[in-house]
Structure 1
Amino acid sequence: MTNPTVPTAMSNRPVTLMSLGHACVDVYQGAVAALVPYFVAERSYTYAAASGIVLAASLLSSVVQPLFGALTDRWAMPWLLPVSALLAGTGVALSGVTGSYALTLLVVAVSGIGVAAYHPEAARVARHVSRGRHTAMSWFSLGGNLGFAAAPLAVFAAVAMSGGLRATPLLIVPALAGGALCAAAVRAAKRPTPASAAEANAPTRAPATATACAPARGDDWPSFLRLSGAIVCRSTVFVGLSTFISLYVRQRTSGGEVSGTAALFVLYLGGAAGTVAGGRLATRYGRITVVRRSYALTVLAVAGVVCVPGPPLYLFVALTSAGLYVPFSLHITYGQDYLPGRVGTASGVTLGLAVSVGGLASPLIGALADATTLRTALAPLVVLPALGWYLLRPLREPAMISS
């Protein structure tokens, strides 16, 4: 006889669909950075102008993401998931066929709004269907990481192999798939699973595991703000590297388009492995230990990216990716636990605002690169993970009670 408290394929189906939908949406977060080298090559943009495109995707997303988070705290809006997926894809698909820099900024900003609208509601639904399990949330986050990793390959296939920037309309395909997957996930989330049915029939049964817990106190804003500050440091490193790593690796390895695409792929794909590892490591060693050590690792890894020439550079790109992504899903659950009364707001900040706000620094990095070199412009990124580690030092696990 099957134990109803053990997650089955049926009960995991919504998590799987959410993860796949997340992958399709986050293709468009990765695609903007992946398009930068092509804007530089085909339109002769400066580093600052090219990084302005990343800023356009980040700026409106950063501004409106907390708004969407606050809205999902008040009203469930599952219909927003497929709509936002389509909006994110449409903006990127149009970016290569616009006739001016201003229009390019506009459509990329529209894509950023789609991404901003998706994440708070997606994180709320994922928390609901995963029942707060760290491992399940890491699988949801993994979907986004895989989307990031697929972005440079999708852009390379659509742009480099199909006629340049004019081929960007092909990039609408993941949005169509994502819209369908998100709609299916919403339908699946509404169906009772065997586990939930068992709980309904046995309301007095004690929780079988520690996942059936809830924060024992109210919103802890000081801890949440420290966490958000650390995530901003992480975001600035990630967005700065993802914007320029393709161009940087071409210079440091004397390679061509393939070498730059490979470096961006390594940066994003290593994040997928790091996210899965993060959930498992947190279960074994505790969230705060894993998060702090990840930030410490990132300091050394980014220093290697800046200082090490030639093919070994790829190893440090992979280590940087792991250091940045092992704590990724843990940031989300921490934020939700620190603000148990505002889960949508916490998700909007940890999964959205604090992540995309790193794009605000991209034009500064680009301007410094125009004035000096890319290597000089990337060097300050070494300091930021150390600052994030310092902000995390006083944090403790939120007090929990059985629900």
Structure 2
Amino acid sequence: MTHVTDPAESTTTPAPAPGIWRRMRLWGVAHAVDDLYQGLVPAAVPYFVLDRHYSYVAASGLTLAATLGSSVPQPFVGVAVDRLALRWLAAAGVTLAGLGLGLSGLMPSYAAVWCLILLSGLGVAMFHPAAGKAARESAGDSAAAMSVFAAGGSVGFFLAPALATPALIAWGVGSTALFIPPAVLTAFALLRHQRRRPAPAPVGGPAGGQDRWRPFAVLTCVEVVRSVAFFGVNTFIELYWIRHLHASRLLAGAALTFFLAGGVGGTLLGGRLADRLGMVRTVQIGAALVLPMLGGLLLAPGSVVPLLFAVLTGVALNLPFAVLVKLGQDYLPTRPGTAAGVTLGLAVSVGGLLAPVLGLVADAHGPRGALAALCVVPPIALALGLMLPEPRR
């Protein structure tokens, strides 16, 4: 069912005060550094295979360690963040994420590498709920301000292979140690910022602070479905360019870059749209746009014209990303850390865990078949989006 908005309610959100942007930039940079370590795992795994002669099964085990560490604990960390005063947890999380990933390339045994990457994932899990709660407190009721925080994660994931690949080629897996300093510096900046500012009162959410679990469950399903599509395109877009469009590896890499860059832009644009049109409407618009953009990517002629649709697909898929984070916290106003842990962590990771199903489709029908199979996802996301109510003012 669709939600009929009360005429007395306004979907337009006032512009945030200038000081908010400074604080949100800090949280956006911190999110970028934290998610940099998530992106470094898939960038570094091939070099563990080359330098340490790991099998493909062992290599996939490292990816599994990162996913388990970052996804499973996040809802529990979110509960702890909501119940206890853990303002230091975001700084501790980004530090652990950096140390775990950075030291992994220096360890000789596979067991030690696996455990360190698991700990790095745990650091990511510690960061997201605490940072999501603190960022929301700083952003107030502005989805545009919250989109700065959300876009930071997309930027970090986007930059990871570009920063890591030259170092890994030049110095091997031991070069992971070069990525420890950003985590330490970021943690120092967060602790300094939080010492200077008193803990703000919670903002936003329904009147009376009543948690609404039913729409939050629907929202979580929307995020899982969106994540399946994002991970699917992220996994197979380069192979589609190489094996179906017969393009060069350089052009295939450009397609992935354009897709991820479009995701960053879509995250920021979604926040602006949500402040003007409403959060639920923005989620619905994003879901409605994915199918024509993905269809254009598959049907456009040549290997250059589809690059435009690679960008637009990234924009459409990420248009609701920051909105879903903020909307989840509005549905659970007394549990903003739990909401952030689910929307930023668990739901996103579940989408990644379902990616092997698309791998089976690709084995049978090629990468184009896997991307074509994703066309069933946007209508599901749109149908779920039509069930979401606007948060109460």
The answer, yes or no, to whether TM exceeds 0.5 is yes
- Structure 1 residues 278, 230: CA separation in 2 closer, same or farther (over 3 Å shift)? same
What is aligned with 1:216?
A: 207
Contact 2:37-2:101 within 8 A present in 1 as well: yes
- Structure 1 residues 233, 360: CA separation in 2 closer, same or farther (over 3 Å shift)? same
1:279 and 2:281 aligned: no
What is aligned with 1:361?
A: 354
Contact 1:54-1:362 within 8 A present in 2 as well: no
- Structure 1 residues 181, 370: CA separation in 2 closer, same or farther (over 3 Å shift)? farther
Q: Distance in 1 between matches of 2:227 and 2:138?
A: 27
Q: Distance in 1 between matches of 2:372 and 2:45?
A: 20
Cα offset for 1:97?
A: 5.3
One of 155, 163, 182 as aligned partner of 1:174: 182
One of 328, 352, 375 as aligned partner of 1:335: 328
Q: Distance in 1 between matches of 2:99 and 2:291?
A: 36
One of 148, 157, 175 as aligned partner of 1:148: 157
Contact 1:20-1:181 within 8 A present in 2 as well: no
What is aligned with 1:269?
A: 261
One of 338, 344, 349 as aligned partner of 2:337: 344
Aligned-residue RMSD, C-alpha: 3.0
**Could you tell me which amino acid in structure 2 is paired with residue 393 of structure 1?**
L
Q: Distance in 1 between matches of 2:361 and 2:30?
A: 37
Question: SS in structure 2 opposite 1:292?
Answer: helix
- Structure 1 residues 173, 302: CA separation in 2 closer, same or farther (over 3 Å shift)? farther
Question: SS in structure 2 opposite 1:373?
Answer: helix
What is aligned with 2:5?
A: none
Q: Distance in 1 between matches of 2:158 and 2:252?
A: 13
Q: Distance in 2 between matches of 1:78 and 1:336?
A: 18
- Structure 1 residues 367, 74: CA separation in 2 closer, same or farther (over 3 Å shift)? same
What is aligned with 2:17?
A: 7
Cα offset for 1:136?
A: 1.4
- Structure 1 residues 317, 164: CA separation in 2 closer, same or farther (over 3 Å shift)? farther
What is aligned with 1:203?
A: none
Question: SS in structure 2 opposite 1:174?
Answer: helix
TM-score, normalised on structure 2? 0.84
1:78-157 matched pairs, under 5 angstroms: 78-96=87-105, 104-157=113-166
- Structure 1 residues 371, 167: CA separation in 2 closer, same or farther (over 3 Å shift)? farther
Cα offset for 1:300?
A: 2.7
Note the residue ranges of structure 1 that are not aligned, 5 or more in a row. Answer: 197-210
TM-score, normalised on structure 1? 0.82
1:1-400 matched pairs, under 5 angstroms: 7-9=17-19, 12-35=21-44, 53-96=62-105, 104-160=113-169, 162-190=170-198, 214-216=205-207, 218-251=210-243, 252-256=245-249, 258-306=250-298, 308=300, 310-370=303-363, 373-400=366-393
Q: What do residues 325-356 of structure 1 show as CA deviations (whole Å, max 9, x unaligned)?
A: 11111101110111112111111111211112
Contact 2:205-2:391 within 8 A present in 1 as well: no
Cα offset for 1:305?
A: 4.1
Q: Distance in 2 between matches of 1:166 and 1:259?
A: 29
Q: How many correspondences in the alignment? A: 375
- Structure 1 residues 156, 327: CA separation in 2 closer, same or farther (over 3 Å shift)? same
What is aligned with 2:4?
A: none
Q: What do residues 230-274 of structure 1 show as CA deviations (whole Å, max 9, x unaligned)?
A: 100111222233344444444445323x44543333232222211
